[in-house]
Amino acid sequence: MNYILINEQTKEFHLTNGNISYIFNVLKNGSLGQLYFGKAIKHRTDFSHFQRTDIPTAASCHYFQDDPAFSLETIRQEYPVYGKGDFRDAAIELETNEGRIGNGFIYKSYEISQGKPNLKGLPATYAKENEASSITITLIDEKVQAELQLTYTIFHDFSVITRSVALRNSGSNPIYIKKLMSSSIDLPDAADLRMIHLAGTWSRERHLEKRDLVPGIHSVASIRGASSHHHNPFIALMRKDATEHDNEVYGFNFVYSSNFLGQVEVDHYDTARVMMGIHPHQFKWQLEGEDSFQTPEVVMVYSENGLNGMSQTFHNLYKNQLIRDPWKTEDRPILINNWEATYFDFNEEKLVNIAKSASELGIELFVLDDGWFGKRNDDTSSLGDWFENEEKLPDGLTSLSEKINKLGMEFGLWFEPEMVSPNSLLFETHPDWIIGRPQEHLTFGRNQLVLDFSREEVVEYLYEKMATIIKRTNLSYIKWDMNRNITDAFSNALSYEKQGEFFHRYILGVYTLYDKLTSEFPTVLFESCAGGGGRFDPGMLYYAPQAWTSDDTDAVERLKIQYGTSIVYPIYSMGSHVSAAPNHQTLRSTSIETRANTAYFGTFGYELNPLELSDEDRNVIKVQVEFYKTHRNLVRDGNFYRLQSPFEQNETAWMIVSKDKKEALVGYYKVLATPTTKKHQVLTLKGLDESISYTINGTEDIYYGDELMYRGLPLSVEFNGANGQHAERGGDYQSIVYYLKG
Ligand code: DGJ
């Protein structure tokens, strides 16, 4: 199949894989027009009638004096500029010493390649030659002497287009990039669309938000130096009548972990301009002659199967074409993390006892969290001093890791590489390594300062420290934390003119360190973390296949957090742990079953002190651990379906179905008990095979896929005040997990 069809006469480019079509063309003035993005359509030699030409108004400015119909104010475009008749936000803004802004880009050529080109120094989806086809369109601005390359990739087996942009200075004078969006697309029918995004804060990340699109700008953004707890670099536009499982949805996700802007501008002619890229706030990149600047990429998904269809495409793409070997297929170990068990208060004996007790429960990996280094006994010191805290670990990490390994467990360690405490040896030695002007007021976050990762020597120093520890402790896992956002953004290593490059250079430094460590130690599993879920983005997922979803481990809060996160990210990338009751973030007590029933739908682990558990709970945990070991491949490889939303009701339900549809795991959760429930107690399932008969929970109960999907799975009997003899569940925070086998 030819995935990129070109009409040379009309200069139209049609990217299609039989499921989606993406069509754009060269406009009369040499810029690019957007013609179509949606369900696949048959190819033809001319699609120009898809462009709307009926609406220039008397007030519109027209590009050509003799053609009032050609107005950029109303033409749908692919990479718009300011100053030529379009008064909406532009995708690019340059500055030259002659005062030019880069609005003269015109089409020059195209080049097709099989597979997908790498983006140097940046995380990105990847593809072999038989998995994707790419086209790069080159536009030039002769006055600015710059070349703009827009690269599009269509994946053969996914309803996905990725886009990124590179700008090359083809002259000898510097060009200053003030804005260079990774993608921009003008979609029609804005009045029929709603915007979906994921918003929150610490401990309440990625809650699902929906808003109507009215004329004006709707945006999500971060200028925190991290993608943030507050807004995820994701936007979807959904038809007004689209649901979880039906009708059209367009999703946009930015493969980047720092300042971003995702924006939908609705104009007065029913067009929605969706733009995504590095946030232009304080951004200014100096491009010398012959230099290039490469933007990160945007992943664009089209779904005709509602929001869930979009999510499954993101999940499958990220599982297969973003997360790298060996972690695509390797089992993720069930871990126990000592953070909520001990906080900073531990010594070797305490840790080994916890690990021993956990190993008896079948847990596979022991993770030592914050507090093992320098003189760290609370959060006021020692970040940067990556050597053992001798008071707590007099025999060192090597001795501890050997003891853990002897228990048959793997050993994992927490780092916060990007940070330094003012009270640390590292700060004493290298006070100039911090971000911020040395003699001026500095703003604190959790008593710590941020290291300047835009500097090679800083990255190199951290690499040496971490690599040495990995080697000498036989480390299997690293939790890479980042507990504060960036303030006082100023690099002492950059000239004043180049400070606008700081934020991007910082994250490139973070990616460099990740790249060096993951290349040298591919079998070490990295879990990214930023005070919980403050950097849960596809950029991080490229290096670290799982992320600590939130510091909030409360099972009820997690329903919303995990449901929201699943809108974009595979559930197997979400670190989800069973913690103690009452919960440390909410003081709510839920049963050990409900805590696990929520955490199973993620990468599973524990965050509690097993020595403080009752025998009964220990026995329950042994069963839970075995259960997850049996089903973790299903959690990793299956298709995830959201069935009932915690944002809409008291009940939440979701399920995961194996690719061959012969197995499924269904989670059902009811937050508050209700008396004599009105609704018929069934759960309508999705994604099963109509003709397969499934047994439920290994019992004799058998149901066909069609009954389960069209009538529903009968839920166990709920206590209603009068049916005590045969009620099987009841009370607040109740939950059930069903295993279906065909
Ligand atoms: C924030 C993380 O999200 C927690 O899990 C824990 O690692 C603490 N930092 C340690 O300081």
pLDDT level of residue 54 (50, 70, 90 thresholds): confident
DSSP 519-531: HH-TTSEEEE-BT
Q: Which atom of ligand 1 is nearest to the CA of 414?
A: 7
Give the CA dihedral 83, 86, 87, 92, nearest 10 degrees: -60
Residue 69's pLDDT is 87
Please state the φ and ψ torsions of residue 563, each to the nearest 5 degrees.
Answer: -60, -50
**Ligand 1 binding pocket mutation candidate from 339, 413, 584 (most atoms within 8 A of CB):** 339
| Active-site residue identified among 89, 141, 481, 552 | 481
| 311-361 pLDDT per residue, tens | 999 999 999 999 999 999 999 999 999 999 999 999 999 999 999 999 999
Mean pLDDT of the chain: 97
- Rounded distance, CA 338 to CA 28, Å? 64
CATH of 335-637, one of 1.20.272.10, 3.30.465.10, 3.20.20.70, 3.30.300.30: 3.20.20.70
- Rounded distance, CA 126 to CA 119, Å? 9
**Any idea which residue has 């009370």 for tokens?**
731
If residue 364 lies in a helix (H) or strand (E), which one and from where to where? none
- SS3 for 95? strand
Q: What phi-psi label fits residue 110: left (phi over 0), alpha (psi between -120 and 50 degrees) or beta?
A: beta
**Ligand 1 binding pocket mutation candidate from 204, 483, 558 (most atoms within 8 A of CB):** 483
Catalytic (active site) residue 481:
yes
| 728-737 pLDDT per residue, tens | 999 999 999 9
Which residue's CA is the nearest one to ligand 1's atom 2? Answer: 531
Distance 152 CA to ligand 1 centre (A): 38
Please state the φ and ψ torsions of residue 243, each to the nearest 5 degrees.
Answer: -125, -170
Give the CA dihedral 504, 183, 306, 662, nearest 10 degrees: -60
Crossing angle of helices 592-599 and 615-637, in 10° steps, is: 20
**Considering only CA atoms, which of 572, 516, 514 is closest in space to residue 542?**
514
Q: Which atom of ligand 1 is nearest to the CA of 479?
A: 7
Distances (CA, A) of 719 to 77, 666, 729, 732: 59, 21, 6, 11
| 628-637 pLDDT per residue, tens | 999 999 999 9
| 698-722 pLDDT per residue, tens | 788 899 999 999 999 999 999 988 8
Q: Could you name the CATH architecture of 644-741?
A: Sandwich (2.60)
pLDDT at 57 over 80: no
Q: Which atom of ligand 1 is nearest to the CA of 369?
A: 7
| 185-234 pLDDT per residue, tens | 999 999 999 999 999 999 999 999 999 999 999 999 999 999 999 999 99
Distance 201 CA to ligand 1 centre (A): 15
Give the CA dihedral 686, 687, 693, 697, nearest 10 degrees: -70
Catalytic (active site) residue 551:
yes
Quick one: 209 exposed, middle or buried, by C-beta within 10 A (0-12, 13-18, 19+)?
A: middle
Which residue's CA is the nearest one to ligand 1's atom 1? Answer: 531
Which superfamily is assigned to 84-321 in CATH? alpha-galactosidase from lactobacil brevis (2.70.98.60)
Distance 297 CA to ligand 1 centre (A): 29
Which residue's CA is the nearest one to ligand 1's atom 9? Answer: 531
pLDDT at 305 over 90: yes
**Ligand 1 binding pocket mutation candidate from 336, 337, 370 (most atoms within 8 A of CB):** 370
Contact 140, 170 (CB under 8 A): yes
Distance 256 CA to ligand 1 centre (A): 22
Tell me what percent of the residues of the chain surpass a pLDDT of 90.
95
- Rounded distance, CA 563 to CA 205, Å? 11
Distance 638 CA to ligand 1 centre (A): 30
Residue 678's pLDDT is 72
Residue 721's pLDDT is 87
The sign of the torsion formed by the CA atoms of 444, 446, 447, 452 equals negative
Distance 493 CA to ligand 1 centre (A): 30
Q: CB within 8 A of 412, min separation 6: which ones?
A: 335, 365, 366, 367, 368, 475, 476, 477, 478, 479, 525
- Rounded distance, CA 740 to CA 742, Å? 7
Quick one: 380 exposed, middle or buried, by C-beta within 10 A (0-12, 13-18, 19+)?
A: middle
pLDDT at 58 over 90: no
Residue 699's pLDDT is 82
**Ligand 1 binding pocket mutation candidate from 379, 414, 553 (most atoms within 8 A of CB):** 414
Q: Where are the domains of the chain?
A: 84-321, 335-637, 644-741
Residue 518's pLDDT is 98
Tokens found for residue 196: 């979906």
- Rounded distance, CA 610 to CA 353, Å? 9
Distance 326 CA to ligand 1 centre (A): 26
Distances (CA, A) of 710 to 305, 397, 704, 705, 707: 17, 56, 10, 9, 5
Q: Which atom of ligand 1 is nearest to the CA of 548?
A: 3
Please state the φ and ψ torsions of residue 481, each to the nearest 5 degrees.
Answer: -95, 165
pLDDT at 544 over 80: yes
| Active-site residue identified among 186, 452, 551, 554 | 551
Q: Report residues whose beta carbon is within 6 angstroms of any ligand 1 atom.
A: 339, 369-370, 414, 481, 483, 529, 531-532, 548, 551
Q: Which atom of ligand 1 is nearest to the CA of 530?
A: 3
Q: CB within 8 A of 444, min separation 6: which ones?
A: 484
| 98-154 pLDDT per residue, tens | 999 999 999 999 999 999 999 999 999 999 999 999 999 999 999 999 999 999 999
Distance 223 CA to ligand 1 centre (A): 22
For residue 430, how many C-alpha atoms fall within 13 Å in the half-sphere facing its CB? 21
